[in-house]
Structure 1
Amino acid sequence: MNLERVQARLQLIDKLLNCKSGEENHVLNDNWELVEPELLQTMAWVVEFGAGNGRTNKANFLRNLLLQLGEYLGSSQQPQTIRKETVDTLLDIGIRWDETSQFTLALQVWQYTLTIYREIKDCQGEAHSLGCLGNAYYSLGQYKQAIEYWQQYLTIARETKDCQGEANSLNNLGLAYRYLGQYEGAIEYHKQSLTIARKIKYHQGEANSLNNLGIAYVFLGQYERAIEHCQQSLTIAKEIKDRPGESYGLGNLGIAYLSLGWYEGAIEYLQQSLTIAKEIKDRKGEANSVNELGIAYCYLGQYEEAIEYLQQSLAIKRKIKDHQGEATSLGNLGNAYFFLGQCRQAIEYHQQSLAIKREIKNRKGEAISLDSLGNAHRELGQTKEAIEAFQASLTIATPETMPDTCTLAGRNLGNIHFSLGNWELAITGYEPAIEAIELTRNSSLTDDRRKQILKDNLSAYAQIVQCYINLGQYEKALEYAERSRSRFLADLFHNKYLYSKGDIPPQVQEYLDLQQQIDSLRFNSPSNGMMGESSSTSTSTEAKLEKIRQLGATKQQIWENIRRENKELAARLQPTPLSFQQMQQLIPDRKTALINFYSAEEDTFIFILRHPDAVGEIPLTSLGTGEIPPTPLCKGGLETLGKGSLETWERSVACYTCEGEGIKNLQNWVKQTWLYSYTKIKFPKWFVITQLLNCKLEDIKTIETNDTAVLVILKDGSQETLNITPQEFLKQTSQKRDQLQKEWQNQMQPTLAELSQRLQLQELIDNHLQDIEELIIVPHLHLHQIPFAALPISPKVAENPETTAPVLQTAGKTRDYRNFDIDTSDTIPTTPINIDNNEYLSDRFRIRVVPSCQILDFCHQREPIETKTVGIVENATGDLHFTPEECRKLAQLYKVPPERHLKEKQATIANYLKLAQQVNILHSSHHASSDLSNALESGLRLSDGTLDLANLYIQSFPQLSEVFLSCCETNFTVSEITDDVLTLAGGFLTAGARSVVSTLWSVQDNSTAEFCQLYYQFRNQGETSPEALRKAQFELRKIPRFNHPYYWAAFVSQGER
């Protein structure tokens, strides 16, 4: 270094700082030999270390002059060598400004270096500038912009075969996607980076990728995998003697242990990280370690210790002028005081953090601080200030740019207004939150993650539905109720719908092809649908998940590329929630109503949607009061807001509230009394064991049976051998199954009668359905399993149902996968429960049941099929006695030739799928069953194996108009809180069928054969599917031994008429 030259430059800078305004050019001209790239570096040093401490104006002046001189020295007037030296110097200056949180200045200088590098065709410099710009936008919390620059950096790195740069850019992209809440996408980028780093033996890059993978897995809740990756990173750091990397790896291990709740282990790792940082004098690493220790002690509830560590972190960050870190430490101190209950101190720290974030223009951090301030003000009862803070946070955190923060701030704003009864203002919070939730869900790569996102945020949907109901805006309430349900099925239907369209742009075709590959993997079936090959072709579950993530990441990237070029086209690649007007279009005529159930935590809402032409025809006297209700929220009754004349009702939707009958009461009651009672039939041997061993169901882990003994393995690790033979155990199991079956059947009518009363069915009909002939029912949660056809309209439950409930014994064999027999051929049910006029809902209405309006809409959009080519699959396992006669009469009625009539061994999986491709009407009469542990393994039992739901989801039957599943449990499942109804009937609808008739439980062979013959008799007479179903049920009830709902109410019609 030429010290004299350095001294001369410092003297020049001093003259510039002390000359009169306007004399700067004279000073520079007098010292022109010093105007060189090195002068810029010296000026930057003076700005940082010599012009501070109250000399802000001079620092700003010198900084601006630096930028002007940089532009001059880098201009096209200068020699190539000077331009290159100048731009390299500016790049380094920008890095230093970035390190000191002067992100805006760094952006300004890097934008200039990018331009110059491109002009002088310096690809390496261009790539570095792009990478730095990405870093600056990342630090500012502007992740979309960061991704754009890092993607450009990645492109150049690949073109120039800069493998290390490629690995670094991929790693950076992973970080940005992580902060956008797209954790699977982040993992995919980190994995790509890891692969390259290992290939080129770039050990530090390998360690960085492993560390970042560990943190991404923490966010996904996969803590063991997080620890595994952090441990691998730590091992590499030790091997290459990378002490800062070792400290960083220990810190990340501490974070992973914190997330697992292993606080003592976390603190131990963080202390080790801190020790190394101090040894190597890594002040920033030291500050980060004590910051994380503070967080750990917060988790432990030891807030005073936490505050002590956080104060240490703050002091270091301030000393090293790490403004970003300073703001983070202040925010964490605010959180610690909040948890300590000292909200005033919390507000003070959050305000300091906010001020710094605003100064350095960290928009993401600003939004988070405002949300934290809102929480603290709310705890103090400072409602006005809390609302202002949440609103300010939401102004910054939009659904697209900061979906995670938008979700938090939006829900917080919505909740505080909801608690105050400000329904319209609550909506201003919930609406952007829900948009952010849906964007995050759509960008997630795995089904489990998408489901979890929806599950974590369902209360936002419930709250906004309640808000719109309270405002009397039932159209909007119904729209949001629909948006929260059956999203998994909607995704599947949408992909099939897109494939059915012609003239698909190449990028969209690539997108859809990737989705098809994903579906083939996720549903565990080869692409040709031949289930018999799946065991030999399947890979491990982890390998499949890994492949799904890779394909999903590629698909997501294609979507983002399409979105940049054509937002409208990109929007069509995701299923768009239906509008109220679109739902109305699903109602075919004025005599049909759509009944949509939605259960919130406390209440169940029943939306009644009518055809637009029916508006204005319903006298208000039908409400039972003769006048418009005075308030839009009438618990326990009909809610309407009339407009105009008192003589007519001018709304095409109403909402009926069943007060106190929400998830807590109604849905849980249905689950216990209906579903649990039925599902017990599937596990009789478990109940036998509880009696023999005097234990609880939850104590049993597995049951193993061989020729000589029955071994029970308990969850505590112990084993018990039953003191009865396997043959006796089998006998007792059969008896227990019969007992459980009878118990469920005998409680059916009392349960349905009580459900009718809970749903106020009589009042609902009297008030709103007097002129209606057909109902399209959209159940919610466990109501999907209820036979609405058998709901008594006006039941009178006996005071002591235990003594008056019917005692039913089933006649004949069920079409159940379990294939058990209950021989009661000469028994008849006793008198059913007392029902006025013995009138059921199906006596009054034709009924269709659909998972959601959106699923019905997909069915509705399919072209109608006029031809009636019929195919029959009969008795695939050869053990059903009444099925042959049922199918013989059907074949005779529709003149079905032998090649379209598969009998017993002919009914293989391959032949079944081939037949479904050839016919318009498919009658499937054989065994089937649902799998409650894994719905995708529910299946049709054919002669050479099981055609399961997973396989159906990847099939396409575009010419299939109608399917009758004359089998057991083809519409039975246990709905999750996300309301995804995964059934065999839904599988056929997804594959292309317009309508499906299916069953809600294990149906009996003899009665089912009779029912099918009646159904097709009415269909052949020109009746629609729901009308033929209703008439067949009515006629079957006339046969004394089949008049109990068990025999006729299991059948439901889904989809189109």
Structure 2
Amino acid sequence: MNQPRRQAYLTLIESLLTWDSDEQTAILQANLELLDDDFAEYLREWATETLPNFDADKAKNRAQILYNLNNAFSSLQQGSRRSNIEIAIACLDIGLTIFTRAAYSEKWAINQNSLGAAYSRRMKGDKGDNLETAIKFYEAALQVRTRQAFPEDWAMTQNNLAIAYYSRIKGDKGENLERAIKFYEAALQVYTRQPFPENWAMIQKNLAATYTKRIKGDRGDNLERAIKFYEAALQVRTRAAFPENWADTQNNLATAYSQRIKGDKDENIERALAFYEAALQVRTREAFPENWADTQNNLGEAYRNRIKGDKGDNLERAIAFYEAALQVRTRAAFPQDWADTQNNLAIAYYSRIKGDKGDNLERAIAFYEAALQVRTREAFPEKWADTQNNLAAAYRNRIKGDKGDNLERAIAFYEAALQVRTHEAFPEKWADTQNNLANAYFDRIKGDRGENIERAIKCYEVALEFRTPTTLPLYCLQTGRNLGNLGWRESLWETAIFGYEKAIEAVEQTREWVTSQTRKRQIIEENLNIYEKMMQSCINHQQYHKAVQTVERSKSRYLVELFTNSEIYPKTATDTEKQQLQNLRRQIATSQQLLETETPSPLPLSPPLTKGGPGGVPDDSPSQRTTQTRSLSPESFQQQKAKLETTLQQLAQLLEQIKQREPEFSLTQKVEPIDITQFQQTLNTETAIVEWYIGGGGHGGTAPTGGFAFIITRDSIKPLTYTTTEIAELETWKNNYLDEYRDKNTNQTWQNTLSQKLEKLSEILRLNEIIAHISPNCKQLILVPHRYLHLFPLHALPFTSETRFKQKTNFRGYLLDGFPAGVKYAPSLQLLQLVKNRITTRNSPPPNQQQLFALQNPTEDLFNADMEVETIKTRFNPHQILLKKQATKTALNDNRENLSNTSYLHFSCHGVFNFDNPLLSSLVLADSLEPTLEINPPQPPLSKGGLEENTFAEGGLEGDRLETKRYVTLRSGRKAIPEKCLTLREIFAELQLPQCNLVTLSACETGLTDSTAMTDEYIGLPSGFLYAGSMNVVSSLWAVDDFATAILMIKFYQELPDADSVALALNAAQNWMRGVSEEDFRVWVRLLNLDKKSGQSVELWLASSSEEQPFREPKYWAAFCATGY
């Protein structure tokens, strides 16, 4: 320090002492080159020489000016922050030579508090020691600042002491954070929102930060509390009133969302990005360079973990943000922040997709080693351990160098990290490193292989003690999958089952936290490989019950949850409130489902990397998803959205009323997986079930995986495994089947070759082998298809058997021939069980009093529908028919009370399945047709679907795909308005059939479901009517012949009174129809006493057929199937 420099220091001091506090900041900014550590030293010398010469008043004045200067230096953003803080400390130390506790106790306490704040921020010296010093100063201040004497000052120091414990390095981290929370809560005893809104908001924000870091308690719950505290702070910290504080809270709220466990991970990160970008509107580099750099670093973190968008591009953006942060976060100015960003930049290069992988890993290692120059174990033990963990991950995956040596170094780094990352001090990070260490031991080349595997298993298992499905589902998913994969590769099936089961529980927990039904389905799709490996592991270990349970768990559980939660009511609710609840939640569920299919789908959930650094390597990369086209016009979409918002408000108001009486009431409940052993006990000894699983290619990829068929009886489960080759063959068959059916140019070929196609499907599914596993004593068969198998008439598959019938040594026939008590369908075992449970609550009227409600030929262009309904209704008394023009939507709504008492509901009309949006699938009613000027009279339709372009193609809608698609086009050329049809959405939301035994959908394609989903999403008209309350639904799988359908329906209802089940009556009608000769058919028709018009229709149809058995081909009788109990 030369003499000119000393003179410059003196001149600056005299200027600062002369000018008032408003001018001091400007003086400091004009003399930044003088503000260094030497200035702090000179300031102390000056005070020692000068202050003793002042009288008491002047000395007090100088001490007060120095206190003000402390504030100026502490808040100065320009120059060296390190030196600014040292000068502030010097100002306060000097002030304490005047402001002694004896002479000026209050000002002494103020300086003690300020020194605590300065040492909390101090960069010079050991960080841990500085924080201990800060705590001592705060505690000293509280000797004077008692709650009784100085409540506001006491509260402020409580807050500051909390901040010091939040940052404390020494002592137990968990205990430090608990003490911080207690100090904040103490401060809030004084700093209430009124009359201290600013301080109240500040402590809300500080509490949020502490809960974000909290170790004790449930991690997910802690983060939810943090978010609530931040949101509370923003009620006061508005951008208009407190822009800097607003930006600070936006930044912190973003961090909480980026770490959030509950909710959908990709949505949380997108919200975090939005909050960070909002913060940067205020946190500019020019105005707040340090804060700007903080948010740049945080944006890097968010983009590094981002799920939406291209992963490679996200990582490049993350690197750019980190590099921007380092423009301010230099080692000289901010060594700790510099080291943090070096660590983060290393993680980004570790994960980087672009560039050479080997070079990226070398750069990552270099950045980690740079961070360790500051992050020493002595100064920053927790961060040192973080970087040790990360460096281990880099060496584990290192390409350059010897693989064996790299793995040994990785293990050494992980074990070093565990010296600090103990279960007691940092349980979450301890679990992370245990998971990573397990990965390293599993990969290890040196040492005994068996011992390495044992150590890997042990590390995974102890990690899962903390990484539970309910508290850390994403990390539990990672470790569970890793452990399962280890067991899978080593043929340790118990280990594989344990790991995969944990992973599946984690998937289900994540799914439960997500509100979007679309996202719920995607979460299962993204992890289907876990379910499939779990099934195979269970089969290999002969745990067949668990294998079948896993099939059920792999399915979309939307319907199961709807069925289950529809029965939940508050104990204190009145009948009116129960009815309101039922109506509102049904409307909400269907409106949400409808709107979700109109909104672009989010990208898949990627398996998380190990917190603090990669370590767990996922099995497969998730696939990208495309957006969906809209099926609603923009106006209809907005109307539905507004309707949903109104319904949600109504539900919230109703729940608020109920919760005042019954606070513990929850509208929904977690649906537990089905207990297969218990389910088997509900079966009789003469029933068998075949449930299929068609592999989905892991994460939704196109490459098929294998599949399974499970033959389930009361006493046994027998699995049959399909190879990937067989499933590939099935996929090819399926595509050819649907392509021929969809194309009107090849549809006739499809009809003519349907028998051969079904023969081939039977061969692919190895139906003969399945039947061989079923005892001849089984009289009833229940089929549970999977995915696109729902689209095919499995009951009409041919088979041969030497053992099925004792009296026939070489039987050949259709599947429905092999089971005298009938063949029926169920969407899933769990739904079958739920429908069966309705029996206990039903008080059905006696058979002779059961009512029929029918809708007959609403569009008046199905000439045989009249013959069908007129004949069927004679078997019911009472019956009610909405005939032709009477069968409007208004009339149907007006008859809701009658429908609630109906035992049999029959629709004889047009039907359409909408593949773009299944909830818009419709039954076409009267008055739904647009008026049209007919130049040529319409020709009689060949099918009851009435669609010119059949509905497999683009949801049954013809014309330009850019149109809003608000019409269903009939074969006559006329268009039906969906708003005037009965849609599946309305069936789910509004229709109630509490006494209904059977709904018959005598229309086209009414049994179809979405065949493209990777999960088993059984959303179609049958599921809607089952949900509405019907025990059984009869529906069709293709565009059916109008005349043949009328005949089948008439015969079906003839069989129904004497049959033990709906399925048996339908099977009997189908068997009769395919075998009846023309002569016997004519005899049968005469007994019907048809009117003249119907008689002519019979003759016309028979004249067009040259077959002795006119209905022999499956296209006439096989389309209809019975679903339900």
Confirm or deny a common fold (TM above 0.5): yes
- Tell me the equivalent position of 2:855: 873
2:212 is aligned with what amino acid? Y
- Tell me the equivalent position of 1:274: 326
- Aligned partner of residue 80 in structure 1, secondary structure: coil
* Residue 453 (1) aligns with residue 523 (2): yes
> In 2, Cα distance between the equivalents of 1:239 and 1:50?
21
- Aligned partner of residue 711 in structure 2, secondary structure: strand
- Aligned partner of residue 768 in structure 1, secondary structure: coil
- Aligned partner of residue 472 in structure 1, secondary structure: coil
* Residue 932 (1) aligns with residue 915 (2): yes
> In 2, Cα distance between the equivalents of 1:370 and 1:134?
29
The percentage of counterpart residues that share the same residue type is 25
> In 2, Cα distance between the equivalents of 1:406 and 1:238?
39
Residue 1030 of structure 1 and its aligned partner are, at CA, apart by 0.9
> In 1, Cα distance between the equivalents of 2:913 and 2:1007?
8
- Tell me the equivalent position of 2:478: 408
For 1:613-762, list aligned pairs within 5 A. 652-658=715-721, 661-662=722-723, 664-682=724-742, 684=743, 737-738=744-745, 740-762=746-768
> In 1, Cα distance between the equivalents of 2:338 and 2:648?
37
* Residue 958 (1) aligns with residue 964 (2): no
- Return closer, same or farther for 1:545/1:357 CA change in 2, 3 Å cut-off: farther
- Tell me the equivalent position of 1:89: 157
- Tell me the equivalent position of 1:80: 148
- Return closer, same or farther for 1:1022/1:553 CA change in 2, 3 Å cut-off: closer
Residue 933 of structure 1 and its aligned partner are, at CA, apart by 3.1
Residue 923 of structure 1 and its aligned partner are, at CA, apart by 0.7
- The count of residues paired between Structure 1 and Structure 2 equals 855
- Tell me the equivalent position of 2:392: 334
Residue 442 of structure 1 and its aligned partner are, at CA, apart by 0.7
- Tell me the equivalent position of 1:607: 710
* Residue 1038 (1) aligns with residue 1021 (2): no
- Tell me the equivalent position of 1:858: 834
2:686 is aligned with what amino acid? K
CA contact (8 A) 1:111 1:129 kept: no
CA contact (8 A) 2:504 2:530 kept: yes
> In 1, Cα distance between the equivalents of 2:412 and 2:289?
37
> In 2, Cα distance between the equivalents of 1:34 and 1:1022?
97
CA contact (8 A) 2:177 2:214 kept: no
- Tell me the equivalent position of 2:937: none
CA contact (8 A) 2:134 2:164 kept: no
What CA deviation, in whole Å up to 9, does each residue of 1:107-130 have, x standing for no partner? 243244245346557566777556
For 1:4-83, list aligned pairs within 5 A. 80-82=148-150
User: Which residue of 491, 515, 524 maps to 1:421?
Assistant: 491
- Aligned partner of residue 800 in structure 2, secondary structure: coil
Q: CA RMSD in A?
A: 4.9
> In 1, Cα distance between the equivalents of 2:652 and 2:503?
27
> In 2, Cα distance between the equivalents of 1:279 and 1:64?
27
* Residue 579 (1) aligns with residue 675 (2): yes
- Return closer, same or farther for 1:455/1:779 CA change in 2, 3 Å cut-off: same
- Aligned partner of residue 878 in structure 1, secondary structure: coil
What CA deviation, in whole Å up to 9, does each residue of 1:705-759 have, x standing for no partner? xxxxxxxxxxxxxxxxxxxxxxxxxxxxxxxx14x22333344333433443444
> In 2, Cα distance between the equivalents of 1:7 and 1:256?
39
> In 2, Cα distance between the equivalents of 1:264 and 1:46?
37
What CA deviation, in whole Å up to 9, does each residue of 1:941-967 have, x standing for no partner? 233133332332212313333100111
> In 1, Cα distance between the equivalents of 2:339 and 2:255?
21
Residue 38 of structure 1 and its aligned partner are, at CA, apart by 6.1
- Aligned partner of residue 437 in structure 1, secondary structure: helix
What CA deviation, in whole Å up to 9, does each residue of 1:916-957 have, x standing for no partner? 652321111122122333323322223313333233221231
* Residue 496 (1) aligns with residue 566 (2): yes
- Tell me the equivalent position of 1:628: none
* Residue 397 (1) aligns with residue 467 (2): yes
CA contact (8 A) 2:555 2:1016 kept: yes
- Tell me the equivalent position of 1:538: 636
- Tell me the equivalent position of 1:726: none
- Return closer, same or farther for 1:359/1:1031 CA change in 2, 3 Å cut-off: closer
- Return closer, same or farther for 1:475/1:34 CA change in 2, 3 Å cut-off: same
> In 2, Cα distance between the equivalents of 1:877 and 1:1002?
17
* Ranges in structure 2 where 5+ consecutive residues have no aligned partner: 1-62, 68-87, 400-405, 446-451, 597-630, 698-704, 803-808, 929-976, 1077-1108
Residue 895 of structure 1 and its aligned partner are, at CA, apart by 4.6
- Return closer, same or farther for 1:356/1:504 CA change in 2, 3 Å cut-off: farther
Residue range with higher mean Cα deviation, 1038-1047 or 434-443: 1038-1047
State the TM-score, normalizing by the size of structure 2: 0.66
Residue 94 of structure 1 and its aligned partner are, at CA, apart by 2.9
- Return closer, same or farther for 1:268/1:443 CA change in 2, 3 Å cut-off: closer
> In 1, Cα distance between the equivalents of 2:647 and 2:247?
19
User: Which residue of 598, 601, 607 maps to 2:693?
Assistant: 598
Residue 392 of structure 1 and its aligned partner are, at CA, apart by 2.2
* Residue 968 (1) aligns with residue 1071 (2): no
- Return closer, same or farther for 1:232/1:101 CA change in 2, 3 Å cut-off: same
Residue 913 of structure 1 and its aligned partner are, at CA, apart by 4.6
> In 2, Cα distance between the equivalents of 1:59 and 1:351?
29
- Aligned partner of residue 963 in structure 1, secondary structure: strand
- Tell me the equivalent position of 2:83: none
- Return closer, same or farther for 1:50/1:1055 CA change in 2, 3 Å cut-off: closer
* Residue 1049 (1) aligns with residue 1084 (2): no
For 1:294-443, list aligned pairs within 5 A. 294-298=346-350, 299=352, 300=354, 301=357, 302-318=360-376, 325-341=383-399, 342-358=406-422, 361-381=425-445, 382-443=452-513
User: Which residue of 117, 130, 138 maps to 2:212?
Assistant: 138
Residue 1035 of structure 1 and its aligned partner are, at CA, apart by 0.6
Residue 975 of structure 1 and its aligned partner are, at CA, apart by 5.1
- Tell me the equivalent position of 1:647: none
Residue range with higher mean Cα deviation, 301-310 or 964-973: 301-310
Residue 323 of structure 1 and its aligned partner are, at CA, apart by 5.4
- Tell me the equivalent position of 2:1095: none
CA contact (8 A) 1:486 1:852 kept: no
What CA deviation, in whole Å up to 9, does each residue of 1:291-311 have, x standing for no partner? 444344331322222332343
User: Which residue of 86, 90, 107 maps to 2:177?
Assistant: 107
CA contact (8 A) 1:446 1:548 kept: no
> In 2, Cα distance between the equivalents of 1:155 and 1:878?
60
> In 2, Cα distance between the equivalents of 1:793 and 1:541?
52
CA contact (8 A) 2:205 2:233 kept: no
Residue 850 of structure 1 and its aligned partner are, at CA, apart by 0.9
- Tell me the equivalent position of 2:882: 902
Residue 859 of structure 1 and its aligned partner are, at CA, apart by 1.6
> In 2, Cα distance between the equivalents of 1:755 and 1:922?
33
CA contact (8 A) 2:159 2:187 kept: no
- Return closer, same or farther for 1:488/1:389 CA change in 2, 3 Å cut-off: same
* Ranges in structure 1 where 5+ consecutive residues have no aligned partner: 14-27, 189-211, 217-225, 527-532, 612-651, 685-736, 797-834
What CA deviation, in whole Å up to 9, does each residue of 1:409-432 have, x standing for no partner? 111112212322222233332232
CA contact (8 A) 1:521 1:548 kept: no
- Tell me the equivalent position of 1:887: 869
- Aligned partner of residue 749 in structure 2, secondary structure: helix
CA contact (8 A) 2:793 2:1119 kept: yes
Residue 581 of structure 1 and its aligned partner are, at CA, apart by 4.4
> In 1, Cα distance between the equivalents of 2:141 and 2:681?
65
What CA deviation, in whole Å up to 9, does each residue of 1:854-899 have, x standing for no partner? 21222223333524221111222222222111111112222565xx
- Tell me the equivalent position of 1:243: 289
For the pair shown, the structure with the greater C-alpha radius of gyration is 2
> In 2, Cα distance between the equivalents of 1:145 and 1:73?
37
